[in-house]
Chains A and B, each alone.
Chain A
Amino acid sequence: MQFMLLFSRQGKLRLQKWYVPLSDKERKKISRDLVQTILARKPKMCSFLEWRDLKIVYKRYASLYFCCAVEDQDNELITLEIIHRYVELLDKYFGSVCELDIIFNFEKAYFILDEFLLGGEAQETSKKNVLKAIEQADLLQEVSQTPKIFT
């Protein structure tokens, strides 16, 4: 995968994960262009399109578009399921996730994504294992918040 973008129906970027080195300017341009292209598509159209020299796989969940750019030889259907798995993970973590959760807890969204995908490839496809890793991190967090009276 080259990058993943999450954006609202108004075109606001909620999450951007880049797996290839690109300058800020290039990233902004790509985001703008791609968001426009996808927002212009009608609901019944297929989830894949060719854009520049990449394949784009996207799906809309409620008010958020999840959009991935993969290379020519990558499997589109499995990428669609990567998107779905990510949504499931967010859903399990936040409990019925909605766009607001991702806005206010953007850093968590990135952390969860990192546990699932790394360098553009799926690293752990077991939902249980990914969530376990996140929970462990949260536990560490709580431990580190032990009130100062005990120190």
Chain B
Amino acid sequence: MPAVSKGDGMRGLAVFISDIRNCKSKEAEIKRINKELANIRSKFKGDKALDGYSKKKYVCKLLFIFLLGHDIDFGHMEAVNLLSSNKYTEKQIGYLFISVLVNSNSELIRLINNAIKNDLSSRNPTFMCLALHCIANVGSREMAEAFASEIPRILVAGDTMDSVKQSAALCLLRLYKTSPDLVLMGEWTSRVVHLLNDQHMGVVTAAISLITCLSQKNPDEFKTCVSLAVSRLSRIVSSASTDLQDYTYYFVPAPWLSCKLLRLLQCYPPPEDGAVKGRLVECLETILNKAQEPPKSKKVQHSNAKNAILFEAISLIIHYDSEPNLLVRACNQLGQFLQHRETNLRYLALESMCTLASSEFSHEAVKTHIETVINALKTERDVSVRQRAADLLYAMCDRSNAKQIVAEMLSYLETADYSIREEMVLKVAILAEKYAVDYSWYVDTILNLIRIAGDYVSEEVWYRVIQIVINRDDVQGYAAKTVFEALQAPACHENMVKVGGYILGEFGNLIAGDPRSSPLVQFNLLHSKFHLCSVPTRALLLSAYIKFINLFPETKATIQEVLRCDSQIRNSDVELQQRAVEYLKLSSIASTDVLATVLEEMPPFPERESSILAKLKKKKGPGAVSVTELEDNKREGGELNGGGDRGPDTAAMAASNASTPSPSADLLGIRSAAPVGAPPASTGSLLVDVFSEAGPAAPSAAVNDDGFLRFVCKNNGVLFENQLLQIGIKSEYRQNLGRMYLFYGNKTSVQFASFTTTVSCPGDLQSHILFVPLCSETKPSNRITQWKAITSSLSP
């Protein structure tokens, strides 16, 4: 219908809008708008007082201009004036303007609040509704302060009209969301819960949103709502389609209300009362049954409404996670939807199944659909549906289908959307690690990952594969061989070079016997990629070269040539230059013994939480990784630490520490980042530390360089940790006084005797620190003891 508006017309507005629409260009539009703005400005400033109608018209025009996207810096006063008018339409426009153009001008807010207060106490339901709508639309803290006590009273008062109650409920909800501390339910709680029994369905619909939100924050206070909700729900579900009259939507009884009731029930665990629980289970079964019945209408609205209730019911079943029968039925229903004609339903089914996969009762049932899901991954045209399928595969992965799923995900990755690749890479890496029975498969998978999506393979992923290869003897040879072959590909991703360089540097000797991968061949292969790589990779390669000199003395001359050449020792990058110079010197002057000790094989890494998991958690938010976490808790630890023999280094360390050690731990000054001395049992380990700092930062087992800097901002945490000792720090500061607690944890199963600590404080800090040892010298095994340092400085 064309541009005739109902009611009063406001012709001027319609003309203005037409003008704007007829403007042929942006400039013309701006010109017209400025003209109008000038006109309105002059009218507002003019001598004649404007009548209500004109004011309304101009304020409406300003609103229109604002909604087009231009800024409006006047008209607020006039809008506020309109609020106090007795004419409904004028009030309405005034409120609309205020709601849309919220202003933090305190003067105006006071006036607005006054007008609202008047309308709220006017006993005129339409005015009251207008006021409540405005509060709900704006929901600012000032409004909360002014009205938070008034609105609950209106909500539960006997003489409030139903429409006002509805608005009051949702208005209160909005205020609660923005300023929860100002909305005190206290005395109103039971009356609000009682609204669930109201005979007006609209009131129930509105109230239930409020109750749901309040229940989430104060479950105990509102728990009486559960039984009321269940009875309401069962009444609706079992009603014939004619019972609820206007609340029936395309033959579905009260779909919005049903969904809200089911949502409310998800805030609570399953009801303890047997009768209530029984009724609820009956309800859920009815809903599941109805899904199997032929539809009462062909319209998509009917099926949407019906399925909305179904999906919400399934969410509830999943949330309870206690009725195996219902869970399996839910799973089957979702399985049917997986192949539905409608894309929406397939999408939602995939999404719901993800949550279902984490429940132990239905995990097996979910797995039966693996073929369908894989098919969806391959054939769906909508990328968001494909992504859901990938998520579901991740969720349903376990030992029995890990290989299949990882293979599918890898092939999906080859054609996946760029925006989701990084997440996919992380997921594949996590799955490969968790379900690897045969670690050579794991190594293959990660190398494939790098090959397919090298750009998106973050550092955490390839650090992890190196950590694992180092920790597991049995896969080292395989890793060396595979990496060697991978590097021979003509176009090789830089991450592959990094991994290859590191692994060949450590374990190249395992494949050096074969003439095709002799030391010189390995070196040439790595060096051929050298000039293609970025600085950090080159640094890593240089470290690999010096390791080669140690492993394969026959390559010494060749490698020294390379190190000696100008492009290395005079390289503009400080790191590369330093390494080249130092390695060159080291290789020339160190005897073979020293060299061997220095470039000892890396010791196994301590087990710690996978940084990949942490990264995935960060990317997706806390909810997404709960599945894997659940499984992490279930799995046996120690999969990382390979058994078997380690290099001579660790044996020496272990031996020397069984006798009386005196690891004198030099404490840092509070701000310096000097590395703490490791137990001096062998010079080797100390130097290894130094080298490990030079290498990729993460695999360092001992020193956390950046960790120290952390403590500039952070008060608590682990200061230092190695296999013997853990030092934690807890500090508190108040103005110029500080107190620092140091906790020493003995991680071995033997006692430390003669344990001493010394604090070395740089310079003038000395005078300010009072060091108080809190307990004795002997440290029993596996215990944590405490030392205290109090610092005071002259300035805060």
A residues with a Cβ closer than 8 A to B are 13, 16, 19, 21, 24, 28, 44-50, 53, 72-73, 75-78, 80-82, 84-85, 93-98, 100-101, 103-108, 110-111, 114, 118-129, 133, 136-138, 140-142, 144-145
Q: Flag if B8 contacts A78 (CB, 8 Å).
A: no
Q: Does B249 touch A at the CB level, under 8 Å?
A: yes
14 of the cross-chain contacts (CB-CB < 8 Å) are A46-B385, A48-B344, A81-B305, A84-B304, A94-B1, A104-B3, A119-B136, A121-B206, A123-B170, A125-B256, A125-B257, A126-B201, A140-B88, A141-B7
Contacts of B201 in A (CB 8 A): 125-126
Contacts of B312 in A (CB 8 A): 75, 78
- Give the complex CA separation of A53 and B124 in angstroms: 41
List 20 additional contacts besides A98-B1, A103-B17; criterion CB under 8 Å: A24-B71, A44-B381, A47-B344, A73-B263, A75-B263, A77-B344, A84-B304, A94-B1, A104-B5, A118-B174, A119-B136, A119-B173, A119-B177, A121-B173, A123-B202, A125-B202, A128-B246, A138-B6, A141-B88, A144-B89
Known contacts A13-B67, A95-B1, A114-B133: A125-B7 contact under CB 8 Å = no
Q: Flag if A124 contacts B163 (CB, 8 Å).
A: yes
Which of A100, A104, A123, A125 has a CB less than 8 Å from the CB of B249?
A125
Q: Flag if A119 contacts B5 (CB, 8 Å).
A: no
- Give the complex CA separation of A118 and B168 in angstroms: 10
Contacts of A77 in B (CB 8 A): 304-305, 307-308, 311, 344, 348
- Over the window 95-133 of chain B, the binary record of Cβ atoms lying under 8 Å from chain A Cβ atoms (1 yes, 0 no) is 010000000000000000000000000000010010011
The 10 closest A-B pairs by CB, nearest first: A77-B308, A119-B174, A46-B343, A118-B170, A78-B308, A140-B88, A121-B209, A126-B246, A104-B3, A144-B87
- Give the complex CA separation of A96 and B308 in angstroms: 27
- Chain B residues 169 to 220 lying within 8 A of chain A, measured CB to CB, are 169-171, 173-174, 177-178, 201-202, 205-206, 209
Contacts of B381 in A (CB 8 A): 44-45
B residues with a Cβ closer than 8 A to A are 1-3, 5-8, 14, 17, 21, 60, 63-64, 67, 69, 71, 87-89, 92-93, 96, 126, 129, 132-133, 136-137, 139-140, 163, 166-167, 169-171, 173-174, 177-178, 201-202, 205-206, 209, 246-247, 249, 254-257, 259, 263, 301, 304-305, 307-308, 311-312, 343-344, 346-348, 381-382, 384-385, 387, 621, 623
Known contacts A81-B308, A104-B17: A45-B202 contact under CB 8 Å = no
Shortest beta-carbon distance, B504 to chain A, in Å?
42
Which of B88, B169, B382 has a CB less than 8 Å from the CB of A46?
B382
Q: Flag if A107 contacts B384 (CB, 8 Å).
A: no
Contacts of B163 in A (CB 8 A): 124, 129, 133
Shortest beta-carbon distance, A131 to chain B, in Å?
10
Nearest A residue (CB) for B127: A140
Contacts of B202 in A (CB 8 A): 123-126, 129
- Give the complex CA separation of A53 and B619 in angstroms: 11
- Give the complex CA separation of A82 and B3 in angstroms: 26
Contacts of A107 in B (CB 8 A): 60, 63, 92-93, 96
**Listed residue (B7, B129, B171, B346) with the most chain A CB atoms within 10 angstroms of its CB:** B7
- Give the complex CA separation of A103 and B171 in angstroms: 28
Q: Flag if A106 contacts B246 (CB, 8 Å).
A: no
Contacts of A95 in B (CB 8 A): 1
Q: Flag if A80 contacts B88 (CB, 8 Å).
A: no
Contacts of B305 in A (CB 8 A): 77-78, 81
Contacts of B71 in A (CB 8 A): 24
- Give the complex CA separation of A120 and B133 in angstroms: 12
Nearest A residue (CB) for B343: A46
Number of A-B contacts (CB under 8 A): 180
Contacts of B257 in A (CB 8 A): 125
Known contacts A81-B301, A106-B64, A119-B173: A137-B88 contact under CB 8 Å = yes
Known contacts A96-B1, A108-B6: A141-B89 contact under CB 8 Å = yes
Nearest B residue (CB) for A128: B246
Nearest B residue (CB) for A110: B96
Known contacts A81-B308, A125-B247: A140-B126 contact under CB 8 Å = yes
Nearest A residue (CB) for B6: A138
Q: Flag if A78 contacts B67 (CB, 8 Å).
A: no
Q: Flag if A28 contacts B69 (CB, 8 Å).
A: yes
Shortest beta-carbon distance, A110 to chain B, in Å?
6
Contacts of A144 in B (CB 8 A): 87-89
Q: Flag if A75 contacts B308 (CB, 8 Å).
A: yes
Q: Flag if B171 contacts A137 (CB, 8 Å).
A: no
- Give the complex CA separation of A138 and B348 in angstroms: 41
Contacts of A105 in B (CB 8 A): 5-6
Q: Flag if A81 contacts B255 (CB, 8 Å).
A: yes
Contacts of B308 in A (CB 8 A): 75, 77-78, 80-81
Q: Flag if A129 contacts B246 (CB, 8 Å).
A: yes
